[in-house]
Amino acid sequence: MVIRDLAQDKIVVTGGAGFLGRHVVAALRWRGVPEASIVVPRSAEYDLRTEAAVARLYREHAPTVVLHLAAVVGGIGANREHPGSFFRDNLLMGTLLMEHARRAGVEKFVACGTICAYPKHTPVPFREERLWDGYPEETNAPYGLAKKMLLVQAQAYRQEYGFNGVYVMPTNLYGPHDAFGPGGHVIPMLLVKFLDAVQAERDEVVAWGDGSPTREFLYVEDAAEGLVAAAERYDGAEPVNLGAGREISIKELTELIAREVGFRGRITWDTAQPNGQPRRCLDTSRAQEAFGWRATTPLEEGLRRTVAWYRAERAQGRFWGAAPPPVASRTESVAAR
């Protein structure tokens, strides 16, 4: 295995100011990459959905490595409300960034995909070879398919141009700096609901669906380590899962979060709302075999860290709690649902 010395590279991290991205930047800095060698394009300066901005990004910074994490993301509700923009914006960003990386002679392109690309009824654990066995779960199919095209593009460019693009798929992420509030992903959304209920002394919290679906949750720092490890040590054409290796039902997760924040009331399930994909849990053996990565943070420990971080931020008034930022401003963050 050839290990790339990232400290010698000029690295663009799209989405580097967002949820996952800031942890990836921290992982790069820990490896000795100079701050001046890491470029985090901000949406106010570079609209990555436009070809002129993408071309200018490569022209002005001449990166040797790109980690493409930027995405327009959200939970089930946001995906139902914005399927067209989620598809269009994610497809445009990925297509333009990889094409202009090819033109600019970028040596390594790491594309952050999503497990939303998997078919709705993929057998558990999800194995990468099952990725094309059916259509994704309907509520997030436009997002999942747009991100899946990064894999198609990377493999096609490898075949025709010898372009070194790799595709990594993190499972559902959680942790500090996520989008906390309605419209977000399940863990931060539930965390806010329960903390609001505790503060308001309410005795009921309503959760979506019936609690039966299962998910796998990966602590964001572990995901960042996986992406950087892929940049250092993976040059293959095949997609790679990043997961925690533990499946938990939404009902169990909800009860776990309630206990963690001290909520002692009742949980009511709104079965008129969608459940999403029935089950999600990944086979992560390829990541361990191909570049020596595995998750190290147990869910309970990751939740404790996340709750403590959010409580501190909320106490300082730095997080909204009741409402997420507009979707249009969230193109610098990425997470799996």
Active-site residues: which are they?
Answer: 143
Residue 209: both structure tokens together = 């669906």
Give first-to-last CA distance, the chain, whole Å. 32
| 242/248 Cα distance (integer angstroms) | 16
- Contact of 92 with 47, CB cutoff 8 Å: no
Q: What is the CA radius of gyration of the chain?
A: 19
Q: Using CB atoms within 10 A of its CB, is residue 4 exposed (0-12), middle (13-18) or buried (19+)?
A: middle
Distance, in Å, from the CA atom of 27 to the CA atom of 33, rounded to the nearest integer, reads 9
User: Which one, of 178, 190, 86, 71, lies nearest residue 139 by Cα?
Assistant: 86
CA angle 67, 72, 74 (to 5 degrees): 120
